Chain A
Amino acid sequence: MELTFRKNELTGESMYCGVHSSGLGIYIIPKKEYSGSYAIFGTRYGSVDSKFIVPGETEVTEVPDGIAHYLEHKMFDQPDGSNVFDKFSKYGGNANAFTSFNITAYLFSATANFEENLAALLDYVQSPYYTDETVAKEQGIIGQEIRMYDDNPGWKLFFNYINCLYSKHPVKKEIAGTVESISHITADYLYKCYETFYNLSNMAIVITGNVDVDREIKVIEAGIKKNEPFTEPIRKIYPEEPAQIASPYAEKKMAISSPMFMMGFKDTDVGMDGKSLLKKNIEISILLRMLLGKGSAIYKKLYDMNLINNTFATDYTMQPDYGFTAFEGESKDPQRVYDIILDELEKVRDKGLDRGDFERAKKVMWGKYIRSHNDIEDYAVTFIQLLFMGIDYFDYYDVYKTVTYEDAVDRFNTHFVRENSALSVVKPL
């Protein structure tokens, strides 16, 4: 098949990409000097996708929560009774998989036998095999995974936070579902989801590290099983999410040493993908650095008052249809942290943003982009996540260079709005 060659002069990176006749998107970024290589084979399918219309059908399909994650676990069973890990292990590949809100992905890293590992990856992700017996066996394992998260205060803090922000959107639900919801999962449900979301036209593969483009493309072409690409999109059905938050505050008690908090703002300027979404991401990331970074006046104030320590961190999560900022840390008095941050942000609104701070924060974003190339795994994961949002991470600079001080000011005014904020706290028993 024909691949497009692209070169980025600023980073020195090259990429080969194309779409196979099966509909599969292929992206290869060779880094010849690396010892290791990495492949990730992912689908646009995550925990939020429990309600959808299969292309060609008219009826809405609704499946139990937690099924995308369950399906990921069950992909490792093979029709001949073998376990997929065995194949990778034999070739020294370190295989894994993950399910997030919007993506399910299967991956491996290797420092030898890349082609054998790649063939194994393509094979098992295209070989669904579920029986009621093998499905039942997983209940115990995933049940313990859910329990493990029940004991994880950071995880509870996070889900309580997004449950403050969202009243309808399924992002508020636990990725693995609940012990109750997964008890309804059957082999039939798994096949239905597989046939829909694992159509290759809904998937992509990203390969990077010490790889040979010609050889890998041959392995991919040989490894693609029969697939009729969808000619129309899968219609994912999400409930109408109101702009306002569900609740301003959540609290939970757990066996921890001191209170933990997560606060931030629901993004109400949603419904975009591609370049506009990336631009929004850069704007918000710059603002978080300017306003709440270690060099900021707010950080200094809170630190000097002993209200935060160096666990304090900020983040922005984005998807085309939802988004939120999150500031988290440990504090003796989370409510006070919340009040001070909101008051200080009001003062910034009156005073205006500092241009010097903007320029410095923008430089930081460029440094982060350059640094993100170091780790082949992190790079490939970021690449595929952004790809599924219609964003071209390879040409980050094209969007980066367009972000101006005025954009940051506008974004500040739309995002940091008191009514859209919430606070989640986990306190010691």
Chain B
Amino acid sequence: METIRINDNVSVTSISMTKLKTTSIGVYIHRPLKAETAAENALLPYVLKSGTALCPSREEIAKYLDDLYGATMGATVLKRGEDQIIYFDAETISDSYAPDGEKPVAGLLKLIMSAVFDPYTVNGAFDEKIVEQEKLNAKDRIDAFMNEKRQYASARCQQETARGTSFAIPRYGEKDRIDGITAKSLYEYYASIMTSSVIDIYICGSGSIDEAAAAVREYTDKLEFSPAQIPSTEIITRGGGELHEVTEHMDVAQGKLALGFLTNVRPGDKDFFALTVFNSVFGAGAHSKLFNNVREKLSLAYYASSQLEKFKGMIIVNAGIEFENFQKAYDETLVQLEEIRKGKITELEFESSINAILNLCNSYFDDQRALVTYYVSDRVAGTDMPLEAFIEGIKRVTPGDVANVAKKLRLDTVYFLAGKEEA
């Protein structure tokens, strides 16, 4: 891994991975997640990928990419803790696999840099037609949040657990903010953030870092930057208190139960390794206690699992159940947590959990996006830990550490997506 700092805000990092036949490029523009700007940050990538100075329309971009053997370029917004990231992702076959000796990597770099730094504009504003279309699409995206019930229940539980913090703001922002955005106001916003944000660019595969840096400098040399930082996130440390209970009704065939636990562990804490292993023992996989008890022993669910939201220090448990089995599934989840607290972790459960995490981490070395995602997340969390060091940290965890960290968990929120309300 090699990094070139273009200036105080912008950096280019190269990760070589020539065993893959592709090269991928990622651009991450870090913005604080705030109610006032969340919708603009979410709209912006969709406008930027619809027209660039190099290819002023969607069709021209699509044809340009198809000519590079079907290279891809996408743009969206990510939410990592309270960092709302405007994210571009592009991928092409590496030069050595282009049958006629073309240079698809250079071609793709040129397009993505044009999309990020040199959008298609009309009289100092974005193209009005593009902006109006993407405003409609942005509203649809916000509305579509409810469509996938399993993810919806999980995300709603995260929001409820993170109530009162910026993390409760949805990834795509709020719909009522969209109407006020114009082609001119969005362009002005874009121009202001491009020089006042941390921008991380990654090239992974067979690309040359110097070539990538040169493609970036072509644009950044003309700009004046002001100091910027990566937005930081604090975990939730709400003290004890009443359980926060939320029930929503929707016309669904299956109830979705989600439990939000606070862990009091930060990504940089010594305990974080034990928390990661705890999550695996508790509910991350077919070896876990939730899978083997809620699903296999009691036949209550097809899925019953836990996931770690490390930036906010939360663990969310999800299960799809018959409505009337709410209490059974809830009780069994807490019973399993109690078992871990008491140190009742079998050798097999423990070993399987460690191995599952190691297997996942090692697989990142075969996956350009996964590896880059790890490092972006590491940067946002401020942990500064190479993947190899994270793997070593996991190997040092003991069953006792897992039992101890389990004692830190406190159930904060119970969310239930129930069926249609009885009239």
Contact = CB atoms under 8 A, between A and B. Distances in A.
Interface of A: 10-11, 31, 33-36, 83, 85-86, 89-95, 109-112, 137-142, 144-145, 147-148, 150-153, 209, 254-258, 289, 293-296, 299-300, 303-304, 306, 309-310, 330, 360-361, 363-368, 370-371, 373-376, 429
B66 interface: yes
20 contacts: A35-B366, A89-B355, A90-B355, A92-B352, A112-B355, A141-B301, A148-B302, A152-B149, A255-B146, A294-B58, A299-B59, A306-B136, A310-B46, A364-B70, A366-B99, A367-B70, A367-B93, A371-B22, A374-B21, A375-B366
Contact of B147 (A141, A209, A257, A361): A257
A145 B351 contact: no
Nearest to B63: A295
B362 A150 contact: no
A144 B321 contact: yes
B293 to A, nearest CB: 12
Contact of A92 (B59, B91, B296, B359): B359
Contact of B70 (A109, A257, A363, A375): A363
B322 A309 contact: no
Contacts of A296: 59
A361 B149 CA distance: 36
Contacts of A255: 146, 149, 250-252
Interface in B115-148: 129, 133, 136-137, 140, 143-148
A367 B71 contact: yes
B69 A367 contact: yes
Q: Considering the complex of A and B, which 3 residue pairs feature the smallest CB-CB distances, nearest first?
A: A367-B69, A92-B355, A89-B352
Contacts of B61: 294
A380 B69 CA distance: 22
B2 to A, nearest CB: 19
A347 B149 CA distance: 40
A150 B253 contact: yes
A93 B366 contact: no
A361 B62 CA distance: 11
Given A363-B69, A368-B70, A148 B286 contact: no
Interface string B1-36: 000000000000000000111100000000000000
A91 B355 contact: yes
Contacts of B322: 144, 147
A95 B355 CA distance: 12
Contacts of B129: 304
A289 B65 CA distance: 12
B374 interface: no
Contacts of B69: 363-364, 366-367, 370
A91 B348 CA distance: 10
A357 to B, nearest CB: 9
A396 to B, nearest CB: 13
Given A35-B362, A90-B348, A256-B147, A360 B356 contact: no
Contact of B62 (A33, A94, A294, A304): A294
B189 interface: no
Contacts of B68: 367
A144 B19 CA distance: 41
B67 A148 contact: no
Contacts of A300: 58-59
A144 to B, nearest CB: 4
A373 B368 CA distance: 13
Given A141-B302, A364-B66, A367-B70, A310 B21 contact: no
Interface string B340-380: 00000000100110011011101101111000000000000
A427 to B, nearest CB: 12
A296 B137 CA distance: 20
Contacts of B58: 294, 300, 303
Contacts of A31: 19
Given A86-B352, A90-B348, A256-B147, A295 B62 contact: yes
Contact of A86 (B67, B287, B299): B287
A309 B149 contact: no
Contact of B150 (A91, A148, A256): A148
B300 interface: yes
B133 A370 contact: no
Contacts of B21: 11, 370-371, 373-374
Give the residue among A86, A110, A293, A374 with the most B Cβ atoms within 10 A. Answer: A374
A138 B298 CA distance: 10
Contact of A94 (B149, B292, B320, B356): B356
Contacts of A112: 355, 358-359, 362
B295 interface: yes
A203 to B, nearest CB: 23
Given A144-B254, A294-B58, 12 more contacts: A85-B286, A92-B356, A94-B285, A112-B362, A140-B300, A144-B302, A144-B320, A148-B150, A151-B150, A257-B143, A373-B21, A374-B367
A294 B148 CA distance: 25
A289 B66 contact: yes
Contacts of A109: 359, 363
B367 A375 contact: yes
Contact of A83 (B22, B60, B70, B296): B296
Interface string B71-86: 1000000000000000
Contacts of B365: 35-36
A126 B46 CA distance: 51
A142 B303 CA distance: 10
B97 interface: yes
B320 A147 contact: yes
Contacts of A257: 140, 143-147
Give the residue among A95, A144, A145, A147 with the most B Cβ atoms within 10 A. Answer: A144
Interface in B141-164: 143-150
